[in-house]
């Protein structure tokens, strides 16, 4: 490297993560969380955009600058007491931070984030506002069931995060379940802007809400909307594992027309030793002929947890809109579920 190139290279600093004692490098202009992704250090994270607080930690030493973030994720009193969000923090010296939330199993199963080229292989409507797409990658991606990727549309530079709905066994094709919004910049592209065969870019994997293996007690899945995708990936991976723990899948929808994949869940009910799919309609319509659960999904979950055995040994995975997650978490706490075995992924609105 020439002297001029060295002069133009960004400064590199060391970040020490306590209490786990891990050290990694971060370049100036790179967020600490992005540096962790690049080096395969899997830290707790969620939205990656300063909205969810999953990567909140305490700055022990060093100089950092915070990029724009939501005060819902990091309040002003917290910032005044040296709390930071790793996804928004740029280092300008060697830094030491104390992780407030970390998972030894997560750190031991880290996968470095990489870039992949892909093409759109399939588009299939599932409901009036939910569509399934599949991407074929130029090379396989390793990921854990429940994780997600960033998909970028070349040309318009649009990037959105979506969870895989397929299990990790075949990382050459990724399947996604996407909710279409009237003003959704990405989902609008599915109405003629994107065609089968078009090229896209994929970066990942991300996410800490993935299936844990070899656990006792029941597995409880709770979702709504496109939150179906990561839970379906976890369920498919669980089925392939041969483990026999009880599995309960709670899914909230507004009306009968918002339900899909019912035939698939009937297959799981026949093939798995102890599985039940429990959909609930919050606004069942006349003519639905609905005889199943009604009400919001956290209310239905509360009723079922009171009748379940070994709830304190359960692993719970919850994915979907933030209000749903916020309603589910206290229900789990009151039922006696171990908070260390509750994993969730809030599908926060896009900010870019």
- Can you give the CATH number for the domain in which 167 is found? 2.40.30.10
pLDDT of residue 189: 87
pLDDT at residue 258, rounded to an integer: 95
**Exposure string over 96-105, b if 16+ CB within 10 A, otherwise e:** ebbbeebbee
Longest dimension (CA), the chain: 75
Is the same domain home to 117 and 103?
A: no
Instruction: Please tell me whether residues 45 and 163 are part of one structural domain.
Output: no
Does residue 214 fall inside a structural domain? no
Q: pTM for this one?
A: 0.83
Contact yes or no for 16/96 (Cβ under 8 A): yes
Do residues 158 and 229 share a domain?
A: no
Q: Three-class SS of residue 199?
A: strand
- 245, with CB counted inside 10 A (0-12, 13-18, 19+), is buried
Q: In terms of domains, do 98 and 151 share one?
A: no
Given 171, 206, 241, which residue is the final one in a domain? 206
pLDDT of residue 35: 94
Contact (CB, 8 A) for 325 and 352? no
Q: What pLDDT is recorded for position 319? A: 95
Residue 54 lies in a domain: yes
Q: Tokens 């407030």, residue?
A: 100
Residue 322 belongs to some domain of the structure: yes
The residue among 141, 175, 206 that closes a domain is 206
Domain that holds residue 322: 219-346
336 and 235, same domain (yes or no): yes
Radius of gyration of the chain (CA): 21
Tokens of 279: 């959909």
Angle at 102 between CA 98 and CA 106, to 5 degrees: 140
Residue 6 counted as domain residue: no
Q: How far apart are CA 28 and CA 291, in angstroms?
A: 58
342 and 224 assigned to the same domain: yes
Exposed/middle/buried for residue 170 (C-beta within 10 Å: 0-12, 13-18, 19+):
exposed
Does residue 4 fall inside a structural domain? Answer: no
Q: How far apart are CA 62 and CA 281, in angstroms?
A: 51
Residues 317 and 335 in one domain: yes
Cα 138 to Cα 245: distance, rounded to the nearest angstrom: 36
* 246 is a domain residue: yes
Q: Name residues of the chain where pLDDT drops below 70.
A: 1-9, 349-352
Provide CB contacts within 8 A for 143, sequence distance 6+.
Answer: 111, 149, 164, 168, 171, 204, 205
Task: Identify whether 341 is part of a domain.
Answer: yes
CB atoms inside a 10 Å sphere around CB 59: 18
Q: Does one domain contain both 329 and 286?
A: yes
> Tokens representing 230?
């990561």
Q: What are phi and psi of 266, to 5 degrees?
A: -65, -35
Query: Both 80 and 166 in a single domain?
Result: no
What is the dihedral sign for C-alpha 43, 168, 156, 160? negative
Q: Is residue 55 included in any domain, yes or no?
A: yes
Residue 184 · residue 132 · CB < 8 Å:
no
Q: Which of 74, 108, 142 is the last residue of a domain?
A: 108
Are 229 and 196 in a shared domain? no
**CB proximity list for 75: less than 8 A, separation 6 or greater:** none
Do 156 and 78 share a structural domain?
Answer: no
As for how many domains the chain has, the answer is 3
Query: What was the pLDDT predicted at 309?
Result: 87
Note whether 201 and 256 are same-domain residues.
no
């Amino acid at each position: 490297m020439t002297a001029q190139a060295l002069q133009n290279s960004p400064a590199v600093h060391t970040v020490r993560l306590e209490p786990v004692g891990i050290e990694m490098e971060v370049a100036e202009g790179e967020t600490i969380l992005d540096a962790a992704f690049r080096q395969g250090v899997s830290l707790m994270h969620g939205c990656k955009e300063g909205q969810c607080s999953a990567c909140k930690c305490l700055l022990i030493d060093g100089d950092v600058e915070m990029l724009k973030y939501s005060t819902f994720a990091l309040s002003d009193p917290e910032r005044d007491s040296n709390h930071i969000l790793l996804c928004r923090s740029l280092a300008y010296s060697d830094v030491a931070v104390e992780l407030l939330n970390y998972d030894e199993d997560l750190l031991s199963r880290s996968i470095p984030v990489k870039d992949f080229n892909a093409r759109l292989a399939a588009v299939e409507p599932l409901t009036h506002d939910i569509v399934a797409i599949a991407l074929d990658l130029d090379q396989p991606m390793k990921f854990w069931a429940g994780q997600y990727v960033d998909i970028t549309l070349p040309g318009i530079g649009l990037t959105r995060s979506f969870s895989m709905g397929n299990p990790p066994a075949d990382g050459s094709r990724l399947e996604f379940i996407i909710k279409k919004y009237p003003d959704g910049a990405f989902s609008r592209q599915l109405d003629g802007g994107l065609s089968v065969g078009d090229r896209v870019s994929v970066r990942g994997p991300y996410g800490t809400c993935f299936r844990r293996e070899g656990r006792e007690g029941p597995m409880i899945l709770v979702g709504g909307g496109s939150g179906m995708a990561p839970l379906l990936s976890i369920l498919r991976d669980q089925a392939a594992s041969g483990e026999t723990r009880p599995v309960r899948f709670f899914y909230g929808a507004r009306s009968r027309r918002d339900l899909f994949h019912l035939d698939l869940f009937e297959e799981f009910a026949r093939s798995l030793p102890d599985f039940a799919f429990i959909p609930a309609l919050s606004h069942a319509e006349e003519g639905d002929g609905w005889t199943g659960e009604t009400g919001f999904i956290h209310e239905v979950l509360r009723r079922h947890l009171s009748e379940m055995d070994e709830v304190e040994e359960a692993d719970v995975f919850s994915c979907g809109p933030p209000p749903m997650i916020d309603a589910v978490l206290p229900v789990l706490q009151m039922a006696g579920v171990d908070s260390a075995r509750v994993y969730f992924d809030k599908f926060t609105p896009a900010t870019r």
